[in-house]
A and B are shown apart, each in its own frame.
Chain A
Amino acid sequence: MEIFQYQFFINALWAALFTSITCGIIGTYIVSNRIVFLSGGITHSSFGGIGVGYYMGVNPIWGAAVFSVLSALGIEFFSKKGQLRHDSVIGIWWSFGMAIGIIFIYLTPGYAPNLMTYLFGSILTVSQGDLLFMGLLTGVIVVFFLLFFRMILFISFDESYARVFGMPVTLIKSLLISLVALTIVVNIKVVGIILLISLLTVPQSIANQFTQVFSRMMFYSVGISLLGVVAGLLFSYNQDVPSGASIIFALIVLFGLTKAGFYLRDKLHPHR
């Protein structure tokens, strides 16, 4: 195909790879620990950083990075210290970040270029600079999980037991939630704030139908996202529709198909 000759398309394929690895691994952590709502909160509150970035004339992604890491750690901190319900705190940060973003974008004189990119993503416009960040984060996440995999599994499964043995539970959890925040930030360009959560949950839900082992769930999720992202990318290019939406659409179709497949299998061979 001739599109493989275009640099923007090569970039998009690299982005697809990095997205799949980061979201595949981090998403498995998110889904297993049931922190999907928390991740949604972090994603949306990063919009505050985008608004502030526009206002101050710096790259909005930097603003998003600061906001998302702060909100990730802030949510944990306030729900512990403030004796508030975890999900209520998430709800507050979620809308607060969005509100800040909207206010600052309105305060910024003139037009906010690329605003739609941040909201809905555009994998075909990913730059070499974006790729550099994505590649770096991919490396950090892979190394972190290789080193601490047993510990992550142990803490995620039974945190209070890990505390008995003086394991650095709070530290590891804070690092993990910061990695969640950074994963969200680097992937905003790909599918956008509004749709990001599905990259962190749909591949994992598909993978979970095939395996109930944490490590395998990570590997399968990476493969499944890669399939979904590339399929969505091609569809978006062919039909000239926004890439973020087509990627999510491809993933959900995949989810529906596998779900139906398993359902049929169980119907036809109930005692397999």
Chain B
Amino acid sequence: MSEKILELQSVDAGYNGQRVISEANLEVYDHDFIGMIGPNGGGKTTLLKVILGVLKPFRGKLIYHQIYDADHVKRIGYLPQFSMIDRKFPISALEVVMSGLMPHHGLTRKYSREDKQRARQMMKRMGISHLEDKVVGELSGGQMQRVFLGRAIIGSPRLLILDEPNTFVDNQFEGELYEHLRELNQEMAIILVTHDIGTISSYVKTIACVNQQVFYHHSNVITQEQLSAYNCPIQLIAHGDVPHTVLKRHD
């Protein structure tokens, strides 16, 4: 039996009193792999901010069941859609990856040799070992995305949240990324925002459609008709031979 790690209960959320998300309910269990889709401006990123606990809902509740560990460390990994970073900031790629361990340390602790070792391994896994000492702002978009992914994963989170991780990265790494995620999914729940549900349908287990409301779809197969019913007007790229069942079954 999977354990519930967090839930949203009839959440309204938005900015400056303007509602972007209304009446959202969502439950996340360990080993979940949720593909989150929806039109631009539909509120996906906003919903993630609520889940992360950085945007307070106007109404409703966010409940963490298994997010904090015994040491009160918040075991979430997050890859933002846009990282608002200053490209001139004097920090190396390795330091950024290592900073993913920051929440595990007290306010004042320094990084240990072991931390550094872990960060090196993570960079290797991301295929960017040669960039360790490079200033992060001097990396290409895809390289930077890998650094931020490394930062998100290094702390072995229980829930990994990825907001459009495929922006900037090349096809090869995109493929590798999804394989990584499949592996990581053994140990952690994953929420993945994407506009390309076709490509990742074989990786995700369930689908959440976000367009002001949140519709949860208990399968990784969804049809255009179902999408319309969910008020989620996105175009699916056809896969498989049945024209209107857009996504092939995974198993």
Using an 8 Å CB-CB cutoff, how does the interface string of A152-184 with B read, 1 for contact, 0 for none? Answer: 011011101111111110000000000000000
Is B103 an interface position by the 8 A CB rule?
yes
Is B130 an interface position by the 8 A CB rule?
no
Binds A, one of B22-30, B86-94, B242-250: B86-94
CB-CB nearest in chain B for A208: B90
Contacts of A149 in B (CB 8 A): 110
Q: Which of A147, A165, A211, A217 contacts B102 (CB 8 A)?
A: A165
Is B18 an interface position by the 8 A CB rule?
no
Contacts of A217 in B (CB 8 A): 90
Taking a contact as CB atoms under 8 Å apart, the answer to whether B74 and A165 are in contact is yes
Interface size on A, residues (CB 8 A): 27
Taking a contact as CB atoms under 8 Å apart, the answer to whether B91 and A150 are in contact is no
Kindly count the residue-residue contacts between A and B in the assembled complex, taking CB atoms under 8 Å apart: 70
Contacts of A161 in B (CB 8 A): 78, 80, 83, 99, 151
Could you tell me the dominant secondary structure of chain A's interface residues? helix
Q: A23 to chain B: closest CB distance in Å?
A: 17
Please name the 3 residue pairs, one residue from A and one from B, whose CB atoms are nearest each other, closest first: A165-B103, A214-B90, A212-B135
Is A148 an interface position by the 8 A CB rule?
yes
Taking a contact as CB atoms under 8 Å apart, the answer to whether A150 and B102 are in contact is yes
Taking a contact as CB atoms under 8 Å apart, the answer to whether B54 and A213 are in contact is no
Could you tell me the dominant secondary structure of chain B's interface residues? loop
B72-122: which have CB < 8 Å to A?
74, 76, 78, 80, 83-86, 89-92, 95-96, 99, 102-103, 105, 107-111
Taking a contact as CB atoms under 8 Å apart, the answer to whether B109 and A150 are in contact is yes
**In the bound complex, CA of A167 to CA of B99 (Å):** 13
Q: Which of A34, A150, A162, A167 contacts B111 (CB 8 A)?
A: A150
**In the bound complex, CA of A222 to CA of B53 (Å):** 40
Q: Name A's B-contacting residues (CB within 8 A).
A: 32, 34, 147-151, 153-154, 156-158, 160-168, 208, 211-214, 217
Q: Which of A156, A167, A213 contacts B103 (CB 8 A)?
A: A167
Contacts of B238 in A (CB 8 A): none
Contacts of B108 in A (CB 8 A): 147-148, 151
Taking a contact as CB atoms under 8 Å apart, the answer to whether A148 and B83 are in contact is no
